[in-house]
Amino acid sequence: MGTPDFAAVSLEALVKAGADIVGVFTKPDMPQGRKLKLTPSAVKVCALEHGLTVYQPKTLRDDETFELIKSLAPDMIIVAAYGKILPSNILDYPRLGCINVHGSLLPKYRGAAPIQRAIIDGERETGVTIMYMAEGIDTGDMLAKTVVPIEPNDDFEALHDKLAEAGAKLLVETVEDIENGRSKREKQDDLKSTYAAKIENADCELDFDDAALNVHNRIRGLSPFPLAVVSQDGRALKLVASEIADYFTPHKNPGEVMKCDAKNNRIEVACREGSVYITRVLPEGKGRMNSSDYINGRKIDLGDRLTRYSR
């Protein structure tokens, strides 16, 4: 059971490992693009490529879905970023349990956005936890963990891809351990838990009245989507990529453009402490572009102010 790319990597690994997959559950096709064309999930695409049967129930809480699962008679249900909560009757059904591939080192970062939150918070490492599923949000007993370092300029996409690969490898190993009776359960320490809430619009509203490191972490944690956003003369300017320019120098006017360097693809912006280079942007009504193109198009200049954007 899974939906996005993160889950598709795990499905691909299970197929290559020779797992007997009796069914693949994913969310219904969603409208995308300007024409709102119905588009299958990454998991559905992967499943169909391997000739697997795909199910897309709108809900898991009706008798029809439960009867379907009973007819498939799975020994184990594996969940990765499915986007639906499993009710107790499904959680309790498989003889080997329901296990989940979660993109953090539990009990830290339980919840919907563990990868983004870890970057935004400035963590230097994260990882993947394979866990038994329980009725609470990511509260089940842990089976295995793998640590993945967070590099200084990793954005959400880069870290997501590393975690997806690490999680898929760990999943295959863990499934084999469960099948062969080698797995060990470890309870989570609830006192050490943190919650990674879903990314909301307010999380994307960037304020340069902060330390440069915090500004950089928020930009990369929200890239390539949904992207941090600021206001430039009342227009939304989304920030796709950044680098630390200076960590420590205090500035009286956070958000002021200190330098426009088209040659080196840099817009230097003052923070409360230090400054950042903005290297890639998404202007309102335009496509993504390097900062050098934005400068050369005379869309930004020395002394401009980038302020908090409120929707």
- CATH number for the segment(s) 5-196: 3.40.50.170
Share of the chain above pLDDT 70, in %: 100
Q: What is the pLDDT of residue 43?
A: 98
Low-confidence spans in the chain with pLDDT less than 50: none
Give yes or no on whether 5-196 and 201-308 have one common fold: no
- DSSP letter for each residue of the chain: -B-SHHHHHHHHHHHHTT-----EE-PPPEEETTTTEEE--HHHHHHHHTT--EE--S-SSSHHHHHHHHHH--S-EEEBS-SSPPPHHHHT-STT-EEEEESS-TTTTEES-HHHHHHHTT-SEEEEEEEE--SSTT-SPEEEEEEEE--TT--HHHHHHHHHHHHHHHHHHHHHHHHTT----B---GGG--EEPPP-HHHHB--SSSBHHHHHHHHHHTTTTT-EEEEETTEEEEEEEEEEEEEEEE-SSTTBEEEEETTTTEEEEE-SEEEEEEEEEEETTS--EEHHHHHHTTS--TT-BEEE---
Q: What is the pLDDT of residue 34?
A: 80
Listed by start position, the domains of the chain span 5-196, 201-308
- CATH number for the segment(s) 201-308: 3.10.25.10
Q: What is the pLDDT of residue 35?
A: 85
Query: pLDDT tens for residues 18-47?
Result: 999 999 999 999 998 888 899 999 999 999
Quote the pTM value. Answer: 0.96
Query: pLDDT tens for residues 235-267?
Result: 999 999 999 999 999 999 999 999 999 999 999
Q: What is the pLDDT of residue 310?
A: 80
